[in-house]
């Protein structure tokens, strides 16, 4: 199945969020770049409620650092909005608990997707949650 546009970029963001090692992250990043998709990923962990702003900031910083977005208001806002949307999908499970996992970001042309793949819970009693957000911006 050939995916185009937002579906393809969403799938790539999810794959980046699910990478297990830095080496795998680099491998995927190179593979997707060959397909014209810029990617970034960043680990995160902490109390969900007090961490929402930091999670959003880390996603924006990672996207800028990896060249997924330009340092312009519209691009930064797109990543921040998509990250907030992704977090809202897991909020019901995560409120009052710790989260830990990875944020994956992908962009191709005017499509940006952010996926969060987190373990949610206490100690080793984790639930798994994934959230996804998408925004459209001007092409790079």
Concatenate the DSSP letters of all residues of 72-131 into one string.
SHHHHHHHHHHHHHHHHHHHHHHTTSEEEEEEEEEEETTEEEEEEEEEEESTT--EEEEE
Q: 39 forms bridges with which residues in the sheet?
A: 106
Q: What percent of the chain has pLDDT over 70?
A: 96
* Mean pLDDT calculated for residue range 79-91: 96
Question: Is pLDDT at 1 greater than 50 in this prediction?
Answer: no
Q: In what order do the strands lie in the sheet with 98-108?
A: 38-47, 98-108, 111-121, 127-136
Q: What percent of the chain has pLDDT over 90?
A: 77
pLDDT at position 3: 56
pLDDT at position 140: 63
Structure tokens at 46: 């902490």
pLDDT tens for 26-78 read 999 999 999 999 999 999 988 999 999 999 999 999 999 999 999 999 999 99
Please state the φ and ψ torsions of residue 17, each to the nearest 5 degrees: -70, -20
pLDDT at position 97: 87
Please state the φ and ψ torsions of residue 126, each to the nearest 5 degrees: -80, 145
Structure tokens at 48: 């969900």
Domains of the chain: 5-136 (3.40.1510.10)
């Amino acid at each position: 199945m050939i995916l185009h546009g937002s579906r393809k970029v969403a799938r790539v963001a999810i794959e980046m969020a699910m990478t297990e090692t830095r080496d795998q992250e680099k491998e995927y990043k190179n593979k997707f770049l060959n397909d014209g998709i810029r990617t970034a990923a960043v680990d995160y962990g902490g109390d969900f409620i007090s961490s929402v702003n930091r999670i959003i900031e880390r996603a924006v910083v990672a996207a800028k650092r990896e060249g997924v977005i330009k340092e312009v208001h519209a691009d930064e806002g797109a990543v921040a909005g998509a990250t907030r949307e992704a977090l809202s999908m897991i909020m019901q499970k995560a409120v009052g608990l710790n989260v830990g996992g990875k944020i994956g970001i992908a962009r191709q042309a005017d499509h940006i997707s952010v996926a969060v793949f987190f373990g949610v819970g206490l100690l080793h009693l984790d639930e798994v949650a994934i959230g996804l957000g998408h925004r459209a911006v001007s092409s790079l």
